[in-house]
Amino acid sequence: MYQFSGKLKTFSLALIIIGLIGTVFSFYNGSQKTIEDAKQVIAASHSSGHGESHGAAAVHAEGDGEGEHASEIEAHAADEHGDSHSEENGTKSYSSKEEHNVAGSHEAVEGHTEKHTNENQSVEEEHSVSDVQEHEEHVLHQLQNRPWSAFYVALFFSLGITLLVLAFYAIQRVAQVGWSVVILRVMEAISANLLPTSILMILLLAASVMHMNHLFPWMADGTVDPASENYDAIVDGKSWWMNSTGFMVRSILYLVAWNVYRFFIRKSSIKEDTANDGNKTYKKNFNASVIFLFIFMITESMMSWDWIMGLDPHWFSTLFGWYVLSTLLVSALTVIAFFTIYLREQGAIPGINDSHIHDLAKFMFGFSVFWTYLWFSQFMLIWYADIPEETTYFVMRFTEYKLPFLGMVVMNFVFPILLLLNSDFKSKPWFVVIGGVVILAGHYIDVFIMIMPSTVGAQWFFGIPELSALCFFIGLLIYTTLNAFSKANAIPKGNPFLKESEHFHYYNIEHTGEGSADH
């Protein structure tokens, strides 16, 4: 049985506490933000070449005072942040003049923005005051969102990794995989993180529904009320899906379904060790895993529509669910490899050899390429067709998040390709760790770019809120995993494929530091 080392326990608890302190501080700091801060941010961005970051410097040069604001709306129209602005404005002009049928007029948005901008010039005096106020309020919401988003990014990443570890584990069972049996317990242990992250997720989503933050624009008051200033015809059109009750019910259903499987399989897997019932328990676990994968395939897509795509209620992409899946899957495999390597170093799992590491690294490599494939497919198809209602998503990310957006592709694709292509490298633990750190960082950035542009827009930074949340969830993951690992036998003794796994030897791997008598 593995003994959770005291040092590491202290370390993980320290991470959790530091993370908590930082997070509490960030929330306190965020909630203190006032409209004055927003005005300062706006003023600062104006004086420091606002146009530069929005890629429309030329437009700015023309403007003075209020004219500048009009051109700013135009400049903003290119990005997401401005997108919501101009649509808010646009919606108002529809409802006041009743010229247009609003429903489904997505494609008109860009045209209307221009039109509105022109209108704006003529009715400058009336509009500008309310527009400026609205803009300030918007920036204020972004500033207040920051600690929430920082926490949400880390939370979703951590929950997603744990979930995908569980899914990968279920796949190992369903596919009757021979090589991975000795690391099944590692995967089980990591999945212990699912319960605490699920609870935090429910709390966070409930907080959003209760208007404690502005993460989900469609939750704002009055988005489905035609009489309201906030009325959003597009959101109203999908209120059958985008309503707080349905959202919470669905979210709870996903989380309960996943946790039920995790609870059952952990218990039953330990039972398998001593069952000795002619593989009856084993078969039961097989069937449970099939059912879980079936449910997982459906709930995973829906979860990504609800929790991530819903942050941009006007944007949609059919591939999105699988794209989220791929980013979480690579990260999950990397986390499995990390814990496997650590526990092997500790001598906690006797059966593991270089071939197991090699196989894990192959998965990390293969699914890194798969992630790139899906990332590129989504990006390229939207870029190619260039339909305004979809393109805003990437324009925003490309203008405001250029470095992380492009850096992520390097970290998630170029780096693993170069590092993990070589067969010898893949069986060297320290090499896999280097590759894995970059992969994990890259996919954190991926989740960051999925969430941040919609919630904090241009007000993003990687500082105390982000770092604290990350510390908290890393500490939590280490603690829950190793704690769970110390609670059960390190080797699933009752698994019928155990012998295959213990003697697993991929043919061209030179095993180091172990006797070769059993190969």
Residues that bind other proteins (CB under 8 A): 103-104, 106-107, 176, 178-179, 234, 237-238, 241, 279, 294, 297-298, 301, 305, 316-322, 366, 369, 373-374, 377-378, 381-382, 384-385, 387, 389, 496-497, 499-500, 502-507, 516-517, 519
* Element housing 154 (H / E): helix 124-174
Considering beta carbons, is residue 211 or 519 the nearer one to other proteins?
A: 519
**Residue 516: both structure tokens together:** 């070769």
The type of residue at 415 is: F
Q: Which of 485, 178, 493 is nearest to 342 (CA)?
A: 485
Give 421's contacts (C-beta < 8 A, 6+ positions apart). Answer: 365
CB of 504 to other proteins, least distance (A): 7
Considering beta carbons, is residue 296 or 479 the nearer one to other proteins?
A: 296
Q: Which residues of 41-75 are buried (b: 16+ CB within 10 A; e: fewer)?
A: bbeebeeeebbebbbbeebbeeeeebebbbbbbbb
CB of 59 to other proteins, least distance (A): 27
CB of 284 to other proteins, least distance (A): 14
**Intra-chain end-to-end CA distance of the chain, in Å:** 25
CB of 319 to other proteins, least distance (A): 4
CB of 326 to other proteins, least distance (A): 9
Considering beta carbons, is residue 211 or 283 the nearer one to other proteins?
A: 283
CB of 317 to other proteins, least distance (A): 5
CB of 321 to other proteins, least distance (A): 7
Q: Which of 65, 119, 114, 78 is nearest to 388 (CA)?
A: 78
Considering beta carbons, is residue 402 or 519 the nearer one to other proteins?
A: 519
CB of 496 to other proteins, least distance (A): 5
CB of 245 to other proteins, least distance (A): 18
Burial of 427 (0-12, 13-18, 19+ CB in 10 A): buried
What CA–CA distance (Å, rounded) separates 196 from 255? 11
Considering beta carbons, is residue 196 or 388 the nearer one to other proteins?
A: 388
Considering beta carbons, is residue 44 or 103 the nearer one to other proteins?
A: 103
Considering beta carbons, is residue 310 or 436 the nearer one to other proteins?
A: 310
Considering beta carbons, is residue 267 or 499 the nearer one to other proteins?
A: 499
Cβ proximity of 452 and 6 under 8 Å: no
Give 336's contacts (C-beta < 8 A, 6+ positions apart). Answer: 165, 168, 183, 186, 187, 190, 360
Cβ proximity of 424 and 355 under 8 Å: no
CB of 384 to other proteins, least distance (A): 5
Considering beta carbons, is residue 387 or 406 the nearer one to other proteins?
A: 387
Considering beta carbons, is residue 379 or 460 the nearer one to other proteins?
A: 379
CB of 176 to other proteins, least distance (A): 8
Instruction: Give CA angle at 224 (219, 225), nearest 5°.
Output: 125
| Secondary structure (H, E, C), 340-407 | HHHHHHCCCCCCCCHHHHHHHHHHHHHHHHHHHHHHHHHHHHHHHHCCHHHHHHHHHHHHHCHHHHHH
**Within a 10 A sphere around the Cβ of 335, how many other Cβ atoms?**
24
Considering beta carbons, is residue 107 or 114 the nearer one to other proteins?
A: 107
CA-CA distances (angstroms) from residue 348 to 184, 218, 490? 13, 49, 7
